[in-house]
Amino acid sequence: MNREYLNRRHFLSLCLAGGAMLLPPLLRGDDDNNGDGSNVNFALAQTGITNRKVVVVGGGMAGATVAKYLRLWGGSGLEVTLVEKDPAYVSNIMSNLVLSGGRTLSSLNYSHASLTSKYGVQVRNGTVVAIDAQARTLTLADGTSLPYDRLVLAPGIRFDDAYGLTQADYESAFPHAWHAGPQTQTLRDQITAMQSGDTFVMTIPAKPYRCPPGPYERACLVADYLKTSGKSGCKVVVLDENPAIQAEPHNFNLAFTQTHAGIIDYRPGVSGIKVDKTTRAVSFTQGGAQQALTAKVINVIPPQRAGTVVDLAGANNSGGGRWAGVDVLSYASTAVPNIHIIGDASATTQPKAGHVANQEAKVCADAIVRAFLGQQPDPAPVTNSACYSPITNSTASWLTVVYQYDGNSKTMVPSGAGVVEAASISSKNFSQMNTWFNTLMADSFA
C-alpha cells in the first residue's frame, strides 16, 4: 500500500467528516463525477521523433482522439493536421435524448479548439478531393496539397439511398438522424407534431450498422416522449431487418414488453421494406407475409458504408466494398500502404461505437508512434466498449465488454465475462451515464 496516498485519503475523510455539512449539494458527489480532465494540461511525450507528418481526415470520435494521442504520445516533432469538413462536431451519442426533449441539440456541440490549444494539432476546415497513395499527398477542395508520412482516415459513415428514399429525402421530409445535426432537429419537430393515435415507424438495417443498441434506445425514448406528453394511443413500430434485438437484449426486451408495453410494437426479421413517399405507406415482408402500414412519422435508418474518402483512397476492400479492411494491431489498411482507418469506417469484429472508436484511435496512435521509432505495433492490444442506453428520460441500461487480440483469427474477441448488460434499468445508471459521456468526450476532444 502506498503510504502517502493512505495519509491523503485519511486526511480527506477527516476534512470531510467535519466539512460535509457545510458543502453545497452540488459538491456532495452524488454521481461520482470527479472532473472530466478537460481543464488539466498534459505534457507531450519526449520521443526524439522529428519532422514526421500525419494527416487525419475526420474530426469525430475516432479522428479527434487519434490527433490528440499522436501528439500526446508522439511529441512535438510529430506534426498532426486534422482535416474536418464541418466547423464543429455534433455528438451522435446522447442525440436520441434530443428526440425525447431530454437534451438540446446545441448541448451536443464539440469544438476542435482544445486539440490546437492544448496539443498543437493543426485543424483545417476542408474536404478531401484526392489522395495519391504513391506520392503520399492528399488534396483538399480548395486546392491545398498536404504531404503525409501516415494518413489516418476517420470519416465515419455515409448512407445508402434505400427503400425508395434518396439523400434529398433524408435531408427533408424523411430524416434518418443517424448522423446528429439538422436532421435530428427535423425528426424532433416531426415527433412533437404527432397527435394522439398517430404512428411512428422506424426501420433498422441488417448489421453491421452504427451503434448496435442505438435504434432500440431511440424507440424507447420516442415511446417515453409520446407517453409523457399525453398523446394517447400512439404507436412506435420497429421494423428490424435483423432476426433479433442486437444489443442489451434482456433490458430492451423488458423495455418493449413492460416499460413501454402497448406503445412499442417490435417486429424482427423484416425484409423487402419499401416507403411510398406520397401515401406515407411502409410495406414489408415478415414471416413470409406481405404487410403495409401508414405512419405520421417514418424514420428509416438506412444501410451504411464507410465515408467516401475511404473509397477515394481505394481502401474499401471489405464487406462488398462497404468498409475498410484493417489489421487491428495498427488499423493499417489491408489494401493501401501508409493509410490507417479507424472508427465506424473500418471492418472489425468490434461494434461501430464512439467508445470503441476512441480506443481504436489510441491503438492506431500507439502503432504509428512505434513505427516512427522503428518498432513493431503492440502484439497484444486490448480495447473495450462501455455504453449507457437511456430507456426513459430518467432511467438507463448499459453494456460493457473487453476485447483481447486473438492471434489465430487476427481479430479482437470478447474476453473474461464476455458482453455483459446491466442487471436492471435504473435511474442510477442514468446519472452515471452523464459522467461517462462527459469523460469520454473530454478524453476525445480535450
Partner 1 sequence: MSAPSCLNPKACCTSGLIAALLSFAATPVFSDGHAPALGAGATVSAPAMPGRLLASNCFQCHATNGVGGFDRLAGLGANEIMEEMLEKRAKSKAKIMSVHALGYSREQLEQLSAYLASVRTNAARPSSR
Ligand X SMILES: Cc1cc2nc3c(=O)[nH]c(=O)nc-3n(C[C@H](O)[C@H](O)[C@H](O)COP(=O)(O)OP(=O)(O)OC[C@H]3O[C@@H](n4cnc5c(N)ncnc54)[C@H](O)[C@@H]3O)c2cc1C
**49 vs 222, beta carbon nearer ligand X:** 222
**155 vs 377, beta carbon nearer ligand X:** 155
- CA–CA dist 88, 59 (Å, integer): 9
Q: Which entry of ligand X, partner 1, none binds 353, CB below 5 to 8 A by partner kind? A: ligand X
List the one residue from 116, 415, 426, 431 that touches partner 1 (CB under 8 A).
Answer: 415
- Does position 224 bind ligand X by CB under 6 A? no
List the one residue from 69, 73, 81, 84 that touches ligand X (CB under 6 A).
Answer: 84
Which helix (DSSP H) or strand (DSSP E) does residue 440 occupy?
helix 427-445
- Does position 81 bind ligand X by CB under 6 A? no
Size of the site for partner 1 (CB under 8 A): 72
Q: Using DSSP bridges, classify how beta strands 396-406 and 420-421 pair: parallel, antiparallel or unpaired.
A: antiparallel
Q: Is the dihedral of CA 227, 230, 233, 235 positive or negative?
A: negative
**57 vs 369, beta carbon nearer ligand X:** 57
Whole-number Cα distances in Å, 314 to 72, 158, 277, 309: 30, 16, 35, 9
- Shortest separation between residue 432's beta carbon and partner 1, angstroms: 8
- CB of 337 closer than 8 Å to CB of 366: no
List the one residue from 343, 365, 368, 445 that touches ligand X (CB under 6 A).
Answer: 343
- Does position 428 bind partner 1 by CB under 8 A? no
- Shortest separation between residue 153's beta carbon and ligand X, angstroms: 9
Report the site for ligand X in 28-67 (rule: CB under 6 A).
Answer: 57-63
Per DSSP, the three-state class of 409 is coil
The b-or-e profile of 352-387 (16+ CB within 10 A means b, else e) is bbbbbbbbbbbbbbbbbbbbbeeeebeeebebbbeb
**75 vs 174, beta carbon nearer ligand X:** 174
**Region of 38-46, 141-149, 254-262, 296-304 interacting with partner 1 (CB under 8 A):** 38-46
Q: What binding mask, one character per residue, do residues 370-409 give for ligand X by CB under 6 A, x or -? A: -----------------x----------------------
Number of residues in the chain: 446
The b-or-e profile of 88-123 (16+ CB within 10 A means b, else e) is ebbbbbbbbbbbbbbbebeebebebebbeebbebeb
Report the site for partner 1 in 320-359 (rule: CB under 8 A).
Answer: 355, 358-359
**Region of 24-32, 352-360, 396-404, 410-418 interacting with ligand X (CB under 6 A):** 352-360
Q: Where are the beta strands (DSSP E) in 328-419?
A: 332-333, 339-341, 346-347, 382-390, 396-406, 411-414
- CA–CA dist 123, 339 (Å, integer): 19
Q: Which entry of ligand X, partner 1, none binds 295, CB below 5 to 8 A by partner kind? A: none
**105 vs 442, beta carbon nearer partner 1:** 442
- Shortest separation between residue 257's beta carbon and partner 1, angstroms: 20
**Region of 31-39, 83-91, 220-228, 241-249 interacting with ligand X (CB under 6 A):** 83-91
**Euclidean distance between the first and the last CA atom of the chain, given in angstroms as a whole number:** 32
Please give the full DSSP string across 99-141, using - where no structure is assigned.
Answer: HTTSS-GGGGEE-SHHHHHHH-PEEEE--EEEEETTTTEEEET
List the one residue from 2, 278, 279, 409 that touches partner 1 (CB under 8 A).
Answer: 2
Say which amino acid occupies 110: Y
- Does position 309 bind ligand X by CB under 6 A? yes
Q: Which entry of ligand X, partner 1, none binds 197, CB below 5 to 8 A by partner kind? A: none
Q: Is the dihedral of CA 316, 308, 110, 71 positive or negative?
A: positive
* Nearest residue relative to ligand X (C-beta): 60
**Region of 107-115, 265-273, 274-282, 337-345 interacting with ligand X (CB under 6 A):** 337-345
Please give the full DSSP string across 133-171, using - where no structure is assigned.
Answer: TTTTEEEETTS-EEE-SEEEE---EEE--BTTB-HHHHT
Size of the site for ligand X (CB under 6 A): 36
**Region of 23-31, 91-99, 224-232, 292-300 interacting with ligand X (CB under 6 A):** 91-99
Angle between helices 182-192 and 214-228 (to 10 degrees): 40
- Does position 435 bind ligand X by CB under 6 A? no
Would you give the DSSP letter of residue 318? B
**23 vs 206, beta carbon nearer ligand X:** 206
Q: Using DSSP bridges, classify how beta strands 289-294 and 297-300 pair: parallel, antiparallel or unpaired.
A: unpaired
- CA–CA dist 159, 155 (Å, integer): 12
- Shortest separation between residue 366's beta carbon and ligand X, angstroms: 17
Q: What binding mask, one character per residue, do residues 172-191 give for ligand X by CB under 6 A, x or -? A: ------x-------------
**Residues in contact with ligand X by the rule CB under 6 A:** 57-63, 83-86, 89, 92-93, 95-96, 127-128, 154-156, 178, 210-211, 214, 307, 309, 343-345, 352-355, 357, 387
